[in-house]
Structure 1
Amino acid sequence: MSPSYPALSYELYPPRNAAAEESLWTTVRRLEDTRPDFVSVTYGAAGSNRETAIDLLRRLLTETTLKPLAHLTCVGSSRTDLAAIIDRLIGGGVRGILALRGDAPDGGVQEGDVEHADGLVRLIREVEAQHTAQLAAGRVSVGVAAYATRHPDSPTVEQDIEVLLAKEAAGADFAITQVFFRSSDYASLLRRARRAGVTLPIIPGVMPLTSTRRLKKLSGLAGVDVDQVLWDRLEGARSDEERRRVGVAATVDLARAALDDGAPGIHLYTFNEHAAALDVLDALDLERPPQAGLAASL
């Protein structure tokens, strides 16, 4: 029996312009060298950058060794449109989909929409069943979001766990957490989830804590307070280099604590920048499987 290694993955988002595309592909090539298990590709609200995301997925599949996980949001899209997108993704070679609700459009949810992520998971499984031969009796890996702290739209953390249970019952294979800033947040999520009967792997999503601007923006979006001690240390740094060291060390501590608590791996939110992510990975010294050919791994 081969040894088990922590999973490693990154999040990327589609480029907004030619300059961003060039920078992204520098990041892709640098991250590819670390042999991640997969890279996730984000998807704009209601599919606002759908074609750019699909083009990035196509290039990752045809021009790299990376395995892409395609984000897909359901709110604001009809069931028919979603089924067509899922069919297109599977037909194009995508074998992993992250099923997300997404933010509701300004006009609210329209009748006929798939309103929640568990419904999207079920729809993915329905479309997948039509591709049995193409998948060679395999299956699409379906991921979902989890929240180490209360979702901004949820009344309680217990409700978040009920939602996660519903996603698992619908056919989800694993979950990735949204950002969190305290190690106790992930440990508490894991305890609540297991106590409630959630069995799927829950991968902690960790962002390099090196930018106070980004921390402030994300904490506002996620409704999560940044650890004040960390914030003060970052703000008090006398240089960008010192701020980077402080942020990388804090990120590594967060990731190590999650692994110690039983995390199956680490998912790094890169913001299409490889330097800080690679600094975290180097300092974390995450054990990776040896590079080998197919015959040697059988």
Structure 2
Amino acid sequence: MSSPSYPALSYELYPPRNAEAEESLWTTIRRLEVTRPDFVSVTYGAAGSNRETAIALLRRLLTETTLKPLAHLTCIGSSRADLTAIVERLIGGGVRGILALRGDAPDDGDAPDGHAPEGDVAHADALVRLIREVEGQRTAQLAAGRVSVGVAAYATRHPASPSMEQDVEVLLAKEAAGADFAITQVFFRPSDYAGLVRRARRAGVTMPIIPGVMPMTSTRRLKKLSGLAGIDVDQGLWDRLEGARSDEERRRIGVAATVELARVALEDGAPGIHLYTFNEHAAALDVLDALDLERPPQAGLAASL
């Protein structure tokens, strides 16, 4: 008899900037840990600007929690040798999940034309191939297992892309390079996710595509989200948040809108939900409670065999 399938649950965290932020982050981590997510992703700044802080967080997650970390890795602005060393370091440190990203161009002018220097790993599909090459040299350390490699997907057009069809071709190239799954950037309309999946399947993409959603509990956050995704702010939601008479009402409106996005995506066959937390647990837990996402029973190994 096959085991029942449960929607995947994951969160995104980012490394703390100072001691106060670190204390707050670890409160969030402990609150999220009890929900037993399948993984938590750990991001960092453009061109790995706070990579060492991210690696320190990954190390603590591996040694001090039950959580499985997914390490973000960007390729722009880094040499192939540097990236190879980082992947070896991650695998050697116990990381078994990597999110392979092109990343944002650094602000220091190292790549003024927006392109990595010749010989570097310029795009995410090439980074996926590099990870697989390093993995192939570490089979004994991995005990015949493998690293899970994720990539980004866009439910709306990537800001630098000429079309959504081009975005899907890029996604297909990432899968061909060896990616296992994709996580979408934020989106505002329930139809955005369904449209992406429809275009991707028609183009031949078969890997799971997980919708990424963030609690939209303030106009400040909504503006931030629209900037990150390169898409227009949802005006109706903006107006409702602006018209709220209290922070509590504003939070209820934002959580309800986020839950609607996630619920429709799950009804459309999404394999799970990825929550961008901004290192805050309260609204993320509100979304999770409202979704009533079915989770696998907590049981020992023997009971699950």
Indicate the TM-score class for this superposition, using the shorter chain for normalisation. over 0.9
- Tell me how far 1:103 sits from its aligned partner: 1.2
User: Separation in 2 of the partners of 1:33 and 1:231?
Assistant: 32
Q: Alignment partner of 1:131: what SS?
A: coil
Which structure 2 residue ranges, 5 or more long, are not aligned?
none
Who is 2:248 aligned against? 241
**Matching residue within 237, 243, 251 for 2:258:** 251
User: Separation in 2 of the partners of 1:133 and 1:291?
Assistant: 30
Who is 2:58 aligned against? 57
Q: Percent identity?
A: 89
Who is 1:42 aligned against? 43
Who is 1:88 aligned against? 89
Matched, 1:175 2:179: no
Who is 2:103 aligned against? 102
Who is 2:17 aligned against? 16
User: Separation in 2 of the partners of 1:114 and 1:68?
Assistant: 24
Amino acid at match of 2:48: G
User: Separation in 1 of the partners of 2:23 and 2:17?
Assistant: 11
- After superposition, residues 194-273 of structure 1 pair within 5 angstroms as 194-273=201-280
User: Separation in 1 of the partners of 2:175 and 2:252?
Assistant: 38
Count residues with an aligned counterpart: 298
Who is 1:127 aligned against? 134
Q: Which stretch of the first structure deviates more once superposed, 100-109 or 122-131?
A: 100-109
User: Separation in 2 of the partners of 1:227 and 1:27?
Assistant: 28
Which structure 1 residue ranges, 5 or more long, are not aligned?
none
**Matching residue within 139, 151, 157 for 2:158:** 151
- Tell me how far 1:269 sits from its aligned partner: 0.2
Q: Alignment partner of 1:145: what SS?
A: strand
User: Separation in 1 of the partners of 2:58 and 2:228?
Assistant: 26
Who is 1:111 aligned against? 118
User: Separation in 2 of the partners of 1:67 and 1:43?
Assistant: 17
- Tell me how far 1:218 sits from its aligned partner: 2.2
Deviations 1:29-59 (A, max 9, x none): 0000000000000022111101100000000
User: Separation in 2 of the partners of 1:98 and 1:19?
Assistant: 27
Amino acid at match of 1:210: T
Deviations 1:91-147 (A, max 9, x none): 000000000000123332222210000000000000001110111100000000000
Who is 1:280 aligned against? 287
User: Separation in 1 of the partners of 2:202 and 2:286?
Assistant: 35
TM normalised by structure 1 equals: 0.99
TM normalised by structure 2 equals: 0.97
- After superposition, residues 73-84 of structure 1 pair within 5 angstroms as 73-84=74-85
User: Separation in 1 of the partners of 2:248 and 2:18?
Assistant: 29
Q: Which stretch of the first structure deviates more once superposed, 13-22 or 224-233?
A: 224-233
Amino acid at match of 2:56: D
**Matching residue within 163, 166, 169 for 2:173:** 166
Amino acid at match of 1:71: H
Q: Which stretch of the first structure deviates more once superposed, 218-227 or 73-82?
A: 218-227
- Tell me how far 1:229 sits from its aligned partner: 1.2
